[in-house]
Structure 1
């Protein structure tokens, strides 16, 4: 009798494991109607043959990432709106927000993930649906927060491939230079025209794609990850700040609060940066109006007199972002573009703005996506 019970238990266990493995392979795609509203919030200057900086502040949701085709459809609709407004030409530099590529980790997942209410629940679905990928990523994680490290690392190769296919494809389709926001990847680099991942720490990095769809230069890594990401995102080398040539001029990229540090602008000046793109992401539904929490690194630059909580987060961003404020920055123009939308209970904030001649211009913050344009 004992042997019979043992055999029955073994068969039931094998059946359960088999059913679970079959379940992990199922990826039904639900119908989804995405919001394609987009407004031209700022259009500064007059058209010229010098080109323009065009920022796209999208409004994205987890279900937008269920398939690459779905996300392409939404982003292409934004670019088509810009083309219809006469804002696309061969010298256009498009700027997208921080972490727009990081959420490619959600691609091809189960409907339960997209329908979750809380971020924690969604990540549980992600690991449960990819047990072998997650286990391997967890074992190779290098960050202090192994769980979050593993979530980002587990699909890194596919994310890098999709990132280049999507954003390189959009650059080629619309004939523009495209600053593809940022993506968190292990030790990213460009080799022979392809974005590659390594086995080292995770970095938050931005890649520029030319009108031929290929990367321009090497990924620019973020120097100062935010508090919530320090357990799994490694700071980039502060001396490795790059400037790339575009049809509109030499372009530098500062990710997120890297744009708050005067020394970064001095380094861009030394490399002849004429334009500065700032892909950014601020979490929390009302963070923009809350008191500013201070700098994201251990020390505050000596030139900065602002103190935490003496102004709002939004006011701090506009005060600290020093694009085209002589003599700190010698760039003629720049733009800070934020990711908006709703990712479960992780709210988003941030109002995109552009900088020119020491002046900051921002649009309204109604629902839907926003275009910001400055003619050079």
Structure 2
């Protein structure tokens, strides 16, 4: 009798495991509607031979990341509207916001992940739906927040491939140089023209794509991760900043709060930079007018001319990104949208000849154009 019961129990467990394994492979897609409107918030200068910086501040939600076709449809619609306004040409440098590629960890998951209202619930669905990937990622995780590390590490190679396919494809489709915001990957590297996730700590990286869809230079690592992400994202100061040649001029990328520090601007200036772009992700609805949070965990922040809470985020970003280095223009571009309970904020701005260009504030998707 005991043998029969043990055999029956084993069969039940095997059936349960098989059922769970089958369930994890199911990825049905739900109904999807998306707002493809975008407004031109800043349009400075007149068309010329030098080209232009074109910032795109997309309005994004978790459902936009369910598959690459959805995300491509929205971003391509924004760029198509910019082209209709005469803002896209062979010398255009398109700039997308920070972490637009990081959210690719949510690609291809179950409907429940996109439908819940709390990020912690979405991450629970991610873990339950990918038990083997998550388990292996936890074994390799580093930093103070191993769970957050594992969530990004578990699909890293897929994310790298998706990132290059999507943003390299958009650059080729519209014939532009494209600064693809950023993506968090473990020790990324380029081999035979393809972006790969490596083994090692996580870095926040920006990649620039040429108008034929190829990679321009190496992934640019963030130098000064902010106070929250530093628990799992490592600083990239061992890899110096570099400048890439584009049809519009020599381009440098400063990720997020890297634009606050004089050292980063000096690194780019020493390489005869002509254009500086700053993809930004500012979490928290209403944070643009809230007191500046600073970056108290970075020793270099103690030398900044502003103290934490002294001014608003808006004032801090406007002041700290200003530089006296001569250049054709600069632009900061912010992520917009809602990712579960966490909203985003920030109004993109540009600079040219010492003049700050902000445009009217709005809550929707925005275009920022600066003729060079």
Q: TM-score range by the shorter chain?
A: over 0.9
Moved more, 284-293 or 75-84: 284-293
Q: Which residue of 2 aligns with 1:334?
A: 330
- Residues in 2 aligned to 1:333 and 1:146: alpha-carbon distance in whole angstroms: 40
Q: Which residue of 1 aligns with 2:341?
A: 345
Moved more, 349-358 or 146-155: 349-358
For residue 298 of structure 1, report the CA deviation from its aligned partner. 2.6
- Residues in 2 aligned to 1:120 and 1:302: alpha-carbon distance in whole angstroms: 33
Q: TM-score, normalised by structure 2?
A: 0.97
- Residues in 2 aligned to 1:298 and 1:279: alpha-carbon distance in whole angstroms: 20
Q: Any unmatched runs of 5+ in structure 1?
A: none
- Post-superposition Cα deviations, 1:224-244, rounded to whole Å, max 9, x if no partner, equal 111111111010026611000
1:357 to 353, 357, 372: 353
For residue 2 of structure 1, report the CA deviation from its aligned partner. 3.1
- Residues in 2 aligned to 1:272 and 1:372: alpha-carbon distance in whole angstroms: 24
SS at match of 1:8: helix
Q: TM-score, normalised by structure 1?
A: 0.96
CA contact (8 A) 1:251 1:273 kept: yes
- Post-superposition Cα deviations, 1:70-127, rounded to whole Å, max 9, x if no partner, equal 1100000000010000000000000000000000111110000000110000011011
1:193-212 alignment, distance < 5 Å: 193-212=193-212
Moved more, 143-152 or 357-366: 357-366
Matched, 1:184 2:175: no
For residue 168 of structure 1, report the CA deviation from its aligned partner. 0.3
- Residues in 2 aligned to 1:309 and 1:143: alpha-carbon distance in whole angstroms: 28
Q: Which residue of 2 aligns with 1:99?
A: 99
CA contact (8 A) 2:209 2:216 kept: yes
1:1-376 alignment, distance < 5 Å: 1-237=1-237, 240-295=240-295, 297-300=297-300, 304-322=304-322, 325-326=323-324, 329-376=325-372
- Residues in 2 aligned to 1:298 and 1:32: alpha-carbon distance in whole angstroms: 41
For residue 160 of structure 1, report the CA deviation from its aligned partner. 0.4
- Residues in 2 aligned to 1:289 and 1:301: alpha-carbon distance in whole angstroms: 21
CA contact (8 A) 1:335 1:355 kept: yes
- Residues in 1 aligned to 2:233 and 2:160: alpha-carbon distance in whole angstroms: 16
SS at match of 1:227: coil
For residue 301 of structure 1, report the CA deviation from its aligned partner. 5.5
What root-mean-square deviation, in Å, do the aligned CA atoms of Structure 1 and Structure 2 show? 1.3
Q: Work out the number of aligned pairs and report it.
A: 372
CA contact (8 A) 2:294 2:301 kept: no
